[in-house]
Each structure stands twice: as C-alpha cells, then as structure tokens.
C-alpha cells in the first residue's frame, strides 16, 4: 500500500520536524505556514507548498495541525470556514483539555472529524523509534490513519474518546517533568554550595529517580483506594527528612521553594491527624485545595 497523502499546517520547529518525518516515510506531503519562507527546506525535500490553509486541507484527506497554541489553531480554522467540511483534522498543538474539547466540538460542527494529539518528545525524536505521541478523540480517525501517524514515531497511544484526555495526560506528565527539573536544580545548588559539581552528583540523582519509580505504584494504589497504611513509611518520619533538606538549604542560603512544597504538604497532613499514614495521604489536601 502506498503511503497516504497528508497535509501539514504549521511549520515551526515541530511542524517542520513532523512534515520531514512524513516525507521520509514516503507520504506525499502538502505544507502550509503563515510565514511561507519556513517551507523552503521542505520543498527541497519534496513537499508541495500551498499559500492558504483552505488549499492545505483540500489537498489531502488527512490534515495535521501543529501551531503555537489553541488560539492560533482557532484563527487558522476561521480562515478555512466551510472548506473544513469532510476533512479529517489531527491537531498536535499543545493545549488545555478544555481547549482541545472546544476545538473538537467546533471541527465536528463544521462537518469534519477531529483527533487530538500531544507530542511528548523533542523535535530530534520525531520520526524515530523514540517518538512518543498521545492521542484522544475520534478513535475511528486513529484506526484509519494509524500507519500514517506512526510515521511520526512508533509509540502512538490512543487514550480514549474524550478529545481532552491527551491534553490531560500531557499536562500531568509535564508537571512531573518540570517538578523533576526544578528538584534536580535545587539539589545541584545544595551540593554545589559545598563544592560538589552537578555532573559529579548526576549519577546519584539518577539512582534516586530509579527509587522514585518504584514508589509510584504504591502512591497510585493509595490514591485509587483511599487507603494510606504507613507501615513501611509514614509522614512523621518523612517530615523529619524534609526538615533536614530545608534547614540544610537555609544554612547555605539556597532558596527553599522547591523542598518547601512537599514539606508543607506533609506538615499539613500531619496537622490534620495523619502523621502515621503514608505519603499518599497528601492526595486529600491536593484535591481539596483545588475546590
């Protein structure tokens, strides 16, 4: 079977990588970008450039969008208008779940089909076995175009029918990522204050990440069951460790914002009478503070 034609709307750093992956996989690829000059290299690689979004969605049954944000996608959809009818849109633009749901409803109301997707890797991994994508929305679109979507990276996950779900997972994962980066930098400042270079500390940071990984299943069970037995570890003990981190940071004039977060959560759970529970008890506080 020949690779199906695909249109790529948006040729920023990521859109260019996506279009390049389609081309390398042999898909006839039509490209559009607000600033046309960004298509030059792709044209040399065999892409066909068009000057309007309407032409782009008309050129292929499958149109993939990757722009800066959801308002940019909305602005481009505005220019397509009725031209959207009967097309299939896969939107790989980062967004909130609410924005993804609103874009899905809007596209469907125009008579088109919508699959939301989130890109979980940098441009360098697009089109490789390390490519990792989350999809949600119209599962028939995923099934029909799965081979094409896998040209972007082998790890393509369909989460469900809710178009907001890929954004939800994306943001949950990114939260872990950014908190992890901030934690590593805090640790680097802490050990660095006593003369330890970050690169010397790095293997030890990697070891504790492996330990964290083994702790996550227990946390997940606690969250899902509402049971937080503290036989193996408990918040009273953990608060003492968190106090050590904060006090050692203060003694070295290191900002305590990062360790103050888990410390504050542990302390609040203890103050609520849960000192003998495991750390997963903190979920109660996190849920309440959002109300």
Ligand X SMILES: NC(=O)c1ccc[n+]([C@@H]2O[C@H](COP(=O)([O-])OP(=O)(O)OC[C@H]3O[C@@H](n4cnc5c(N)ncnc54)[C@H](OP(=O)(O)O)[C@@H]3O)[C@@H](O)[C@H]2O)c1
> Which residue ranges make up the site for ligand X (CB under 6 A)?
10-15, 33-35, 38, 66-69, 72, 75-76, 93-94, 119, 122-123
> By C-beta, is 124 or 179 nearer to ligand X?
124
Decide if 30 contacts 48 (C-beta within 8 A).
yes
Rounded to whole angstroms, the Cα distance separating 154 from 251 reads 48
Return the number of the residue (3 or 12) whose C-beta is nearest ligand X: 12
Output the smallest distance, CB 197 to ligand X, in A. Answer: 28
Beta strands in 52-106 (DSSP E): 62-65, 88-91
| CA atoms within 13 Å, Cβ hemisphere of 284 | 17
Which of 46, 122 has the CB closer to ligand X?
122
The closest residue (CB) to ligand X is 12
Token pair for 259:
């360790």
Least CB distance to ligand X at residue 11 (A): 5
Question: Do 98 and 89 meet the contact criterion of CB atoms below 8 Å apart?
Answer: no
User: Which residues are CB-neighbours of 264 under 8 A, at least 6 positions away?
Assistant: none
Residue 125 CB, nearest approach to ligand X (Å): 9
Nearer to ligand X by Cβ, of 168 and 265: the residue is 168
CB of 98 to ligand X, least distance (A): 15
Q: Is the Cβ of residue 64 or residue 119 nearer to ligand X in the bound state?
A: 119
Q: How far is the CB of 206 from ligand X (least distance, A)?
A: 23
Q: Is 114 helix (H, G, I), strand (E, B) or coil?
A: strand
């Amino acid at each position: 079977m020949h690779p199906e034609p695909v249109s790529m709307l948006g040729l920023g750093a990521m859109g260019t990588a996506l279009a390049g992956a389609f081309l390398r996989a042999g898909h006839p690829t039509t490209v559009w970008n607000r600033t046309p000059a960004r298509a030059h290299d792709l044209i040399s690689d065999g892409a066909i450039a068009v000057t309007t979004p309407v032409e782009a969605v008309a050129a292929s049954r499958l149109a993939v969008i990757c722009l800066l944000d959801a308002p940019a996608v909305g602005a481009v959809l505005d220019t397509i208008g009725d031209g959207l009818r009967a097309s299939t849109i896969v939107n790989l633009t980062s967004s909130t779940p609410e924005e993804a749901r609103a874009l899905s409803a809007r596209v469907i109301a125009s008579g088109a089909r919508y699959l939301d997707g989130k890109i979980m890797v940098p441009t360098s991994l697009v089109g490789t076995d390390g490519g990792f994508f989350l999809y949600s929305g119209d599962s028939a679109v995923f099934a029909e175009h799965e081979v094409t979507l896998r040209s972007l990276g082998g790890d393509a996950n369909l989460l469900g029918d809710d178009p907001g779900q890929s954004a939800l997972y994306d943001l949950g994962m990114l939260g872990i990522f950014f908190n992890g980066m901030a934690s590593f930098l805090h640790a680097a400042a802490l050990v660095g204050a006593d003369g330890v270079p970050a690169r010397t500390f790095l293997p030890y940071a990697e070891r504790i990440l492996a330990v964290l990984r083994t702790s996550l299943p227990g946390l997940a069970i606690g969250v899902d069951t509402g049971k937080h037995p503290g036989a193996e570890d408990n918040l009273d003990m953990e608060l003492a460790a968190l106090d050590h981190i904060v006090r050692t940071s203060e003694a070295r004039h290191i900002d305590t914002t990062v360790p103050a977060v888990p410390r504050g959560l542990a302390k609040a759970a203890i103050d609520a009478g849960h000192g003998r529970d495991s750390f997963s008890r903190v979920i109660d506080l996190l849920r309440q503070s959002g109300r």
